[in-house]
Chain A
């Protein structure tokens, strides 16, 4: 009975962590897919989202709004964090990446690295170096499943993360702009010849990726109860590992990779020395890439380019 409860609990933890990694990994993979750039500043999008969430949530709580209108407050917190960070993402693309679009990949990569350092230090200066506490809004209420306790907060976060990913899938598969994004990722010059506005599709990528990262940031803040200026670093590189694991550039791959890394990490922490858990993402990555260098779903159709 106890083992069963323990297992269910771990599965819930894995789903939570996997969703977070998947949401962040989507930002890496989408940006890579469309401009072949590893956006090193993406981890900072996650952190920025978490801070904006903290600021908005704190304000709403002081006004007593969270108690009176819980669902609406949650909506406002996520919407504000996602919108702000989306704006930040577009600004970064405009300032740091767009001017280098015809330059070598290495230049853009260095620019991304610089942006990451700049943002991380900016957040340190404005928000301080110590942990900041998130208001405990998710509560402790929950349900019992097979002897394990699952909080409403956990259910809400996982459900919301899944909803965001389903929404993203519908967007890229069904909408005109989403299809234009895929077309641009697959053959940018041809997309331009068909009248697709390349700048606009790239900008859209820098709206969606950072917004998803920001949502993950708010979720982590609410779940673990604290934020810090450098909190995006480790989840950032793990999510990047997840994106590569799934096959960089592949949206479904990022979701699968994120879930897989979340799961392995939770299982490791549950049964093996947990101080080593941060290493698991990379062990999985190395193992998978050793046998499948393109990642799990990264088998792109080889195509002759002129």
Chain B
């Protein structure tokens, strides 16, 4: 499994199988996220990209195979245990708590932390990353616009000081200008030291900021290469880049 990418991996999936009832959603997925990098997973709707993230987080547990986080097996752990190790996910559709304020949503992101001062500092940090959240801090999450909710979802994930950030379709439903802002921010977060696993249908965008990319089709990884190489790949171009 290790022939791809740099040697030191934050996260490694080995032959992971996941079922939704009788549906075989992941059919032996293997991939790795190098520490400090951005890796993207692209593919069509229903290929199993979100399932991969939910399996990593223990929400849809793996039936077979192993998942190693910083060398430690996590595939038998419960979601809250996995979160406490430092894996933070921004799920598809933002999943903001609609009846809690922006500030309360952010506080929930820091739920596992006990360092009050550190939380306060990180709150200022995410406010400087997304100034609009500071303006909206006392507004209910459900009343924010789609873009604001996406920013809040990312900021909430950052409040846990993640050691690995999983992003599911951060560009979904956002205006092109906003998509660019979000992707700039993702790069900024990564430059500050957080490895990122990015799931996207917007393959062009995702590959352009990633070091490595995986292509998924109906529960299997069918291609794995440097992102730059995938951008040039004829197959990828035809199927995912609309060329």
Residues of A within 8 A of B (CB): 176, 179-180, 182-183, 186-187, 189-198, 300-306
Contact = CB atoms under 8 A, between A and B. Distances in A.
Interface of B: 50, 57, 59, 78-80, 83-84, 88-89, 91-93, 95-100, 104, 107-109, 111-112, 140, 142-143, 156, 160
B50 A179 contact: no
Given A190-B95, A193-B59, A300-B99, A306 B50 contact: yes
A247 B100 CA distance: 17
A301 B142 CA distance: 6
Contacts of A193: 57, 59, 79, 83, 88-89, 91, 95
Given A180-B111, A301-B98, A192 B140 contact: no
Contacts of A179: 100, 104, 107-108
A193 B108 CA distance: 10
**Residue of A182, A196, A303 with most chain B CB atoms under a 10 A cut-off:** A303
Nearest to B156: A194
B93 A195 contact: no
A176 B111 CA distance: 8
Contact of A301 (B57, B108, B109, B143): B143
A179 B156 CA distance: 15
A192 B93 contact: no
B111 A194 contact: yes
A69 to B, nearest CB: 40
30 contacts: A176-B111, A179-B107, A179-B108, A182-B100, A183-B97, A186-B97, A187-B95, A189-B59, A189-B79, A190-B95, A191-B108, A193-B59, A193-B79, A194-B108, A194-B111, A194-B156, A195-B79, A195-B80, A195-B83, A195-B84, A195-B112, A196-B80, A196-B111, A197-B80, A198-B80, A300-B98, A303-B142, A306-B92, A306-B93, A306-B95
**Residue of A176, A305, A306 with most chain B CB atoms under a 10 A cut-off:** A306
Given A179-B107, A192-B79, A187 B97 contact: yes
**Residue of B50, B79, B96, B108 with most chain A CB atoms under a 10 A cut-off:** B108
Contacts of B93: 304-306
B83 A194 contact: yes
A183 B100 contact: yes
B80 A180 contact: no
B87 to A, nearest CB: 9
Contact of A190 (B50, B78, B97, B140): B97
Given A179-B104, A192-B59, A193-B59, A306 B111 contact: no
Contacts of A187: 95, 97
A300 B99 CA distance: 8
A131 B89 CA distance: 57
